[in-house]
Structures are given as C-alpha cells and as structure tokens.
Amino acid sequence: AQKVTQAQTEISVVEKEDVTLDCVYETRDTTYYLFWYKQPPSGELVFLIRRNSFDEQNEISGRYSWNFQKSTSSFNFTITASQVVDSAVYFCALSVLNDMRFGAGTRLTVKP
Amino acid sequence: DSGVTQTPKHLITATGQRVTLRCSPRSGDLSVYWYQQSLDQGLQFLIQYYNGEERAKGNILERFSAQQFPDLHSELNLSSLELGDSALYFCASSVGDGTTGFFGPGTRLTVL
C-alpha cells in the first residue's frame, strides 16, 4: 500500500529564512509520481510540481527547489528566502496507477 | 486559475438530503478525479472517470456516486447526508488516464 508521511505538522519561520518541508513516501511499485501542492487560506489546491519515479533530477523554480532521493524515499521541498505569502499548508502526494495518496500536510507560517 | 471549474462553491444542507456537485475539467482533459478533504480524514481520493468510464475507486462511500457525461463534465452525487460528510470536495483533471495535477477550487459542503 502507498503511504506519504509529512512528519512536520507545523513550521514557523521569520521572513527571509530558508525552510525545508520533508516528505517520505512508501510504495512497492517502481513506477509512480510525486507531487507537491500548496493550500493557501483561501482553500484551493495549487499545483507546484510533479515528478515521476524515473526522474531523480532535482528541480529549481525561482525560490522553490525540490530534492528527490529514491534511496531514502524522500521528496523534500525547500523555500529559499521565505515570504509572508508562502504561508499555507503544503501537501506532498504519491500517485500509483491513479491511486493518489496525500500526506497530512505541513502548515507553514512565515512571520514578517 | 487551474482551468478546472467546480460548482457550487458553497453548499449548506441538512442531514438526510441529497446534493450534486459539478466539475468541468480543463479543456482537452479526459480524466476527472474526485477528492474529499475533511478535518479528521485529510485529503482522500474518492473516484476517477476517464472518458466517461469509471477507472479507479478509492474510499468512496456507497451513499456517494459519480458519473462523467459525454461532454466530459462530471457530477458527484452525495445522498443520505450525514454530519460527517461536511468537507471540501475537490475535482481534478488530467489529459490521460494517468495522474492528477490540477485541482478545481473545491466545493465546501456543510451538513447541518
């Protein structure tokens, strides 16, 4: 069975600090997709990134970067120079054959 | 804006009633996925349709049903509503029979 663990329930940082959100996943399948979503207070789920299991290249998009390591079954998300607008709940998700499982989410609060 | 639309945004109803939630996928997407987000269960996959056919089922109750119409929009029907059905219901779509990426804004259902 698939499982996603986001051990950090809540994180609070001060603006301009870097912050890393951890995600550990479990699956026996060799083909899968990993996702990160942002859920701001307004409630919508904003797609951030999708990674397939065969692509371990790390990715950087502006202040966001993702570190995918199959050896440790982790897909961590780093926000560099955090801003107040980054305050949200962030979800990591794992998808295997259309069965998508979400982690419990990490609530990030960025204080000015 | 993800391109996935959902109506209504908010729905308030009473226990025992039946409601229908509607989702229109992004242009060109053939798959529609339904998810439920509740405080105690987190984000859960309910069901997927691909080009009009049911493709995958998650933790969907028997009181719930869905369908996808020829124009590819989908409806999620919730009947004999209980207080515990109060949640945010999301729809997502994707091009193929693969993985979800983009979510709609959600329908917030409140059962009183």
Give the C-alpha separation, B31 to B98, whole Å: 8
Q: Could you tell me if B78 and B18 are in contact, meaning their C-beta atoms sit under 8 angstroms apart?
A: yes
Mean pLDDT of chain B: 93
> Chain B closest CA to A98's CA: distance in Å?
6
Chain B CB contacts of A43 under 8 Å are: 88, 105-106, 108
Check pLDDT > 70 for residue B44. Answer: yes
Q: Is the pLDDT of residue A59 over 70?
A: yes
A49: closest chain B residue by CA: B101
Tens of pLDDT, residue by residue over A4-32, are 999 999 999 999 999 999 999 999 999 99
pLDDT of residue B34 exceeding 80: yes
List B99's β-bridge partners, or say none. Answer: none
CB-based contact A105 B42, cutoff 8 Å:
yes
The burial class, CB within 10 Å (0-12 / 13-18 / 19+), for A95 is: buried
Is the CB of B108 less than 8 angstroms away from the CB of A43?
yes
| CA B111 – CA A93 distance, rounded (Å) | 28
Region A85-107: what's the mean pLDDT? 92
d(CA B82, CA A28): 36
A100 neighbourhood in chain B, CB within 8 Å: 33, 35, 45, 99-100
- Does the pLDDT at position B95 exceed 90? no
Q: Does A41 touch chain B (CB under 8 A)?
A: no
Q: Which stretches within chain B are classed as H helix?
A: none
The torsion angles phi and psi of A30, rounded to 5 degrees, stand at -95, -15
